[in-house]
Chains A and B, each alone.
Chain A
Amino acid sequence: MNDDNIVVGFVEYVGDPASWTGQDGLLWRILEHSVYTVLALAMAALIALPVGLLIGHTNRGSFLALNIANAGRALPTLGVLILVALATSIDIRPVMVALVLLGVPPILASTYAGIRNVDPDAVDAAVGMGMTGREILWRVEVPIALPLIISGLRAATLQIVSTATIAAIVALGGLGRPLLDSIATREYAQAMAAALLVAALAIAFDLVFAALTRVVVSPGVSGRRVARSRG
């Protein structure tokens, strides 16, 4: 097969409306892929954010939690997915376990780092104003740590979107389906389209987070420091 054929085949495949619609069309695959990603990200965040905030705020148990998270990074997602699939059942659960394990370490590490890196003077000032521990966490530490926390969520999303392709090996859908099928069928045009769509999906999710950063991060934190130091 030469380059010419791939490109021509790719253009023909993408230009054909039939490739996009129907039960195994690309649009449906994009939707499946997004659902896996959002579900896994939400669960990873539900686990990692509270733990990260807690160990960042109290600075207790951080050594243990961070080391467990780092060892988690070393777990090959493919192996986890297959092991859980054999141990339980072949449905969405093993995929969620594998993707959540992938998402937890970056969110946990950056949430912890974000809270720890808050200027101690700011925390002292909050204590001096009579804030309780809970108020300090939510009204001082979290707002200042938000950019780092969101960057952890972005890193996790990027990895989950790209790894969700392996859901296809336990007979699930998503954009991994056309990719894996192409190994057997040699319909590489389909594989290229799916690969580009995964990348596009990752970029789309990233743009959502970039927009979110603008909306939720206080202008005092995100760079208008000059105005603050003048006062």
Chain B
Amino acid sequence: MTEVLDYVSQSGDTVLSYLGEHIIMSIVPIGLALCFAIPLGWWAARRPVLTSVLLSMGGIAYSVPSIALFIVLPLVFGYQIISLTNIIVALTIYSTALLVRNVIDGLESVPDDVRLSATALGYGHLGRLLSVELPVAVPVIAAGLRVVTVTNVSMVSVGALIGKGGLGNLFMEGLRSDYMAPIIVGLVLSVLLALSLDGLLVMGQRWLTPWVRVRAGR
């Protein structure tokens, strides 16, 4: 325990900068993935063939190990291997692959009579998506977002194998110097980060779906 405290007091600044990097590398892919997954899911919802094609592509993308994407993607797209871009692109691919399924499930969970009522009220395709279908789909999409967020926070650290892993760098530091303190600091901060982001998402979901609480309270 004292070792851990010593380590934090000595290398606090490094730890903080790793934490900052870690936050950026976990959050940006989630935002990007939402931007890709919502249009893709909208396009595929209620089109069974397209849905199954997208989902199998997602499954295949997800089964490629992250370290492999970190090595292969820079070769394909031509950016630096040790860069924030590299980690962010790879994690965006994973996050999108996971989220598309939830967007499709969420949109398909909107009851037909709700969609028909919206159309009868004069909503166009886009208006109906934004003000009726997406809000109704929030719980299902949010469930996916929570899984993606927790997974991303844990996956960022794998980037340490190529020298860009946020808190994961602390794990490699510990391995190289045979010293547990940085590893423990990295693990604790990583779990705390995952749980706080998860908490934020739960709060966001409550705020976006006030009707769920009203219904539960009745």
Contacts and interface: CB of A to CB of B under 8 A. Distances in A.
B67 A73 contact: no
Interface residues of B, number: 45
A82 B175 contact: yes
Interface in B64-83: 64-69, 71-72, 75-76
Interface string A167-203: 0010000001001101100001001101100110011
Contacts of B68: 165, 179, 191, 194-195, 198
Contacts of B180: 83, 86-87
Interface stretch (B4-12, B29-37, B128-136, B186-194): B186-194
A203 B195 CA distance: 31
Interface residues of B: mostly helix, strand, loop or mixed?
Answer: helix
Interface string A71-105: 10111111110110111000000000000000000
Contacts of B170: 79
A148 B163 CA distance: 39
B67 A179 contact: yes
Given A80-B187, A191-B72, A183 B161 contact: yes
B150 A195 contact: no
B60 A188 contact: no
Contact of B75 (A1, A166, A183): A1
Contact of A202 (B63, B147, B153, B179): B63
B141 interface: no
A70 B191 CA distance: 11
